[in-house]
Amino acid sequence: MPWSARKHGQPADTNRSAHRVSGKGTVSATDEELIRALYAEHAGPLFHYALRLTSGDRQWAEDVVQETLLRAWQHPTAFEPRRGPARAWLFTVARHLVIDAHRARQARPAETGGEALERAAQQTVGEDQIEQALQSWAVADAIRTLSPDHRAVLVETYYRGRTMAEAARVLGIPLGTVKSRTYYALHALRLALQERGIEP
Question: Is residue 33 domain-shared with residue 97, that is, in the same domain?
Answer: yes
Sequence-distant (6+) residues with CB within 8 A of 114 are 144
- Whether pTM > 0.75 for this model: the answer is no
Question: Is residue 88 domain-shared with residue 159, that is, in the same domain?
Answer: no
CATH of the domain at 66: 1.10.1740.10
Question: Is residue 134 domain-shared with residue 43, that is, in the same domain?
Answer: no
Query: How much is the pLDDT for 121?
Result: 55
Query: How much is the pLDDT for 78?
Result: 76
Query: How much is the pLDDT for 2?
Result: 31
Q: For residues 7 and 61, what is the distance between their CA atoms, to the nearest angstrom?
A: 26
> Phi/psi at 50 (nearest 5 deg)?
-65, -35
> Phi/psi at 23 (nearest 5 deg)?
-175, 175
Closest CA to 112 of 74, 70, 144, 66: 144
Angstrom distances, CA of residue 121 to CA of 36, 67, 117, 129, 191: 43, 29, 6, 11, 19
Domain count, the chain: 2
Contact 86, 15 (CB under 8 A): yes
Q: Running along the chain, 200 residues long, what does each successive block of 10 average in pLDDT?
A: 34 39 49 80 90 89 91 80 78 88 72 57 50 67 89 89 92 94 92 75
Query: How much is the pLDDT for 183?
Result: 93
Question: Is residue 172 domain-shared with residue 119, that is, in the same domain?
Answer: yes
DSSP-derived secondary structure for 92-127: HHHHHHHHHHHHHHHHS-S--HHHHHHHHHH---SS
Q: Is residue 191 a part of any domain in this protein?
A: yes
**Quick one: CA dihedral 108, 111, 117, 122, positive or negative?**
negative
Work out the number of other CB atoms within 10 angstroms of the CB of residue 151. Answer: 21
Question: Is residue 187 domain-shared with residue 155, that is, in the same domain?
Answer: yes
The three-state secondary structure class of 81 is helix
Residue ending a domain, among 39, 74, 107, is 107
Q: Is residue 200 a part of any domain in this protein?
A: no
Residue ending a domain, among 64, 81, 107, is 107
Angstrom distances, CA of residue 146 to CA of 70, 168, 193: 27, 19, 11
Domain residues for the domain of 184 are: 113-195
Residue ending a domain, among 67, 85, 107, is 107
